[in-house]
Structure 1
Amino acid sequence: MRIVRPLALVAVFVTLAVPALREPLEASMALQMLALLPGVFAAGWLSARLAPARWQARAMAALRPHALSLLVVAALGYGLWMLPIALDLARLSPAVNAAKFATVFVAGLSTGIALRVAAWPLVLFFGGNMVWMGLTFGMLFIDAPARLCASYLIDDQRMAGVGLVAGSAGVGVWLLAWVVRRAGWSNSEDSEKTAKDWPAIAVNAGQKGLTQKGRKQQLRAAATTVAPDKGPDRAPD
């Protein structure tokens, strides 16, 4: 795995840097939405795990309070390029095209970090909305009577729609499995922690009960204790 991740990143960056490799993928709506953009997103995801473990731990600790912001960045950075007008603008402007790859990469990076620091209900909410968005756009691409992107043919658009529906359904299944595993892990961790703390809880409860039973004796003992000679509240002789 240590070798696969850097090789995958190199493959994605080479594809983006070499026009002969990138342009055939961009020329097809289906290939761009189902291969190129997911590949850039995966590269961002993988890059979150390439740093040394010590740096990753520090980064996770620093970014934990910003889990909501990370998920918002991920949703906006990837969801924007499902819009047909955005794809057309990317084909017309090199600057917009570069921004497309940059935002999708950042979306993948944010997702890779958020899955490690965010609470599972938050991930389920944003992930579920992204799955629903993919299904909606996919059905729209399939059922539209005319092409929605001026740069792509309607058959290519429908193929992209079928791929979006299938891919979104697969991501939805993976998301549910991840949530079940994460929620079960959290519950088992809490149960284990509670079980470990039961002896201390029992001792504290026993001490509390003993204190309540012997409160009068303790108060009497405190009343008979000699007061110190220092302090403004000392009673006069």
Structure 2
Amino acid sequence: MSAARLFTRRPAASRPTDPTVGRLAALAVLAMLAVVALVPPLREWLEVSMARQMLVLLPWVFAAGCLSQRLLSLRGRGRLARASRPYALTLLVVATVAYGAWMLPIALDLSRLSPWINVAKYITVLLAGLSTGVALRVSAWPIVLFFGGNVVWMGLTFGMLFVDAESRLCASYLIDDQRMAGVGLMVYAMALGVWLLVWAARRADRADSAKESAATAVNAGEMGSQEQ
């Protein structure tokens, strides 16, 4: 069995969704992100607080990347999924590393000191969101659960570190702000863990249903052949 087949899944039957709703949601998120990018006082207000940056700004950029594929037509999304399927594992690695890097205190400090690193922050988090959005469509649910579990563990670990630290870990932020960010990270991590379990259970159930349907079709075909 090839690595591509091991880490990818075949699309299972699901209820059709209205693509217009997804496009409107993507447009709304991207429009608000554009407002943040084009209004320096608003962007500075979000970046000047560790809690606002980690709990509002970065998740919003990630969501924009995740939803951006919904701007494509259904045919375009299908082509994107087919082209990305062999790289499902790579997409999950990119998403985990690209987002996880900005949980490091030194990375946040550097983004405040250098405009270029700050731009790189937005690009990498946007890329992490895009990679996640595509990977959720083409990856097998066990491998998504594995990487998602690592992100949950990472969020809990950094959250506890931010809360328990007796001194500032980021030179650019106050310790109370740091602790607030830590509490928020732990809450987000637990919420992500619950969502992952529900998502994986639904994917597994859908995959089992698809297998049962395929087996029923095969059995029906064999019975028809025997009757003839």
TM-score by length of 1: 0.84
1:125 alignment counterpart: 146
Structure 2: which amino acid aligns with 1:106? Answer: L
Say whether 1:162 aligns with 2:180.
Answer: no
1:22 alignment counterpart: 43
Residues 73-112 of structure 1 show CA distances to partners (whole Å, capped at 9, x for unaligned) of 1001100000000000000000000000000000000000
Q: Cα RMSD between the aligned structures?
A: 1.3
* Equivalent residues of 2:163, 2:180 under 8 A apart: yes
Say whether 1:13 aligns with 2:34.
Answer: yes
Give the alignment partner of residue 184 of structure 1, picking from 205, 212, 226: 205
Say whether 1:75 aligns with 2:69.
Answer: no
Residues 190-223 of structure 1 show CA distances to partners (whole Å, capped at 9, x for unaligned) of 001101110233467x69xxxxxxxxxxxxxxxx
Where in structure 1 are there 5+ consecutive unaligned residues? 208-237
Structure 1: which amino acid aligns with 2:189? Answer: S
2:132 alignment counterpart: 111
Structure 1: which amino acid aligns with 2:180? Answer: M
Residues 30-49 of structure 1 show CA distances to partners (whole Å, capped at 9, x for unaligned) of 00000000000000011011
Give the alignment partner of residue 172 of structure 1, picking from 162, 185, 193: 193
The count of residues paired between Structure 1 and Structure 2 equals 206
Residues 123-179 of structure 1 show CA distances to partners (whole Å, capped at 9, x for unaligned) of 001000001000000000000011100000000000000000001100110010000
1:153 alignment counterpart: 174
1:26-45 aligned at under 5 Å gives the runs 26-45=47-66
Counterparts of 1:13 and 1:123, CA distance in 2: 30
* Equivalent residues of 2:25, 2:67 under 8 A apart: no
1:185-204 aligned at under 5 Å gives the runs 185-202=206-223
Structure 1: which amino acid aligns with 2:118? Answer: N
Give the secondary-structure state (helix, strand or coil) at the position aligned to 1:178: helix
Counterparts of 1:100 and 1:63, CA distance in 2: 24
Give the secondary-structure state (helix, strand or coil) at the position aligned to 1:48: helix
Say whether 1:139 aligns with 2:139.
Answer: no
* Equivalent residues of 2:152, 2:189 under 8 A apart: yes
Say whether 1:49 aligns with 2:70.
Answer: yes
Give the secondary-structure state (helix, strand or coil) at the position aligned to 1:145: coil
Counterparts of 1:201 and 1:35, CA distance in 2: 57
1:198-217 aligned at under 5 Å gives the runs 198-202=219-223
Deviation at 1:4, TM superposition (A): 3.1
TM-score by length of 2: 0.88
Counterparts of 1:201 and 1:125, CA distance in 2: 38
1:62 alignment counterpart: 83
Counterparts of 1:93 and 1:115, CA distance in 2: 33
* Equivalent residues of 2:55, 2:181 under 8 A apart: yes
Shift of the 167–202 alpha-carbon distance from structure 1 to 2, 3 Å rule, reads: same
Where in structure 2 are there 5+ consecutive unaligned residues? 1-20
- Structure 1: 4+ residue segments shifted above 6 A: none
* Equivalent residues of 2:105, 2:169 under 8 A apart: yes
Which structure has the larger Rg? 1
